[in-house]
C-alpha cells in the first residue's frame, strides 16, 4: 500500500525531504527499480510493503535503508509522529544502511546487509 500524500506533506512541513514515488516515476514501477533509485539518491524508503524488506534480505544489499510499517495505521498521527522520531533518532543508522521494522508496539533494527542465518519474518 502506498503512503498518502498527506503523510509526505506532513513530513515536509517538519523539515524532512519526503518524496512519494508517484512524484518521480510510474505508479507500476518494479520494487527493485524503486529500491535502486533510493540507493542511488541516498534516500530512505518508508513503506507498508514487506516486499522491499524481502528484496534487501535476499539480495544482501547494504543500501538503501527501509522503514517497514508493519500493522501500523498509515493515516494515524501517532504513526506519523513515530516515523518522524525514527528519522531523527536513527539518522546515523539510516545513513549507514538499516532495516527498521515498526509495529504498533515495537521497533526492530537490523543493520544492512542482513547476514545469512537471519530468519526473515513472514
Q: What angle do CA 59, 48, 62 make, to 5 degrees?
A: 25
121 within a domain of the structure (yes/no): no
119 lies in some domain: no
In a domain, 80, yes or no: yes
Is residue 44 in some structural domain? yes
Total number of domains in the chain: 1
pLDDT tens-digit profile of 4-51?
899 999 999 999 999 998 888 777 889 999 999 999 999 999 999 999
Please indicate, yes or no, whether the overall pTM of this predicted structure exceeds 0.75: yes
pLDDT digits (tens, 9 = 90+) for 55-72: 998 899 999 999 999 999
- Residue-range definition of the domain harbouring residue 52: 5-111
**Distance (Å, whole) CA 27 – CA 90:** 29
Residue 120 falls inside a structural domain: no
* Residue 79 covered by a domain: yes
Amino acid at each position: 500500500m502506498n503512503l498518502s500524500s498527506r503523510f509526505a506533506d506532513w513530513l515536509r512541513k517538519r523539515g524532512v525531504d519526503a518524496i512519494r514515488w508517484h512524484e518521480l516515476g510510474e505508479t507500476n514501477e518494479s520494487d527493485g527499480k524503486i529500491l535502486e533509485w533510493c540507493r542511488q539518491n541516498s534516500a530512505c524508503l518508508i513503506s507498508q510493503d514487506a516486499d522491499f524488506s524481502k528484496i534487501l534480505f535476499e539480495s544482501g544489499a547494504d543500501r538503501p535503508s527501509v522503514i517497514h510499517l508493519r500493522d501500523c495505521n498509515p493515516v494515524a498521527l501517532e504513526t506519523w509522529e513515530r516515523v518522524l522520531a525514527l528519522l531523527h533518532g536513527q539518522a546515523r543508522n539510516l545513513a549507514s544502511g538499516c532495516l527498521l521494522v515498526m509495529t504498533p508496539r515495537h521497533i526492530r533494527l537490523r543493520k544492512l546487509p542482513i547476514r545469512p542465518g537471519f530468519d526473515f519474518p513472514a
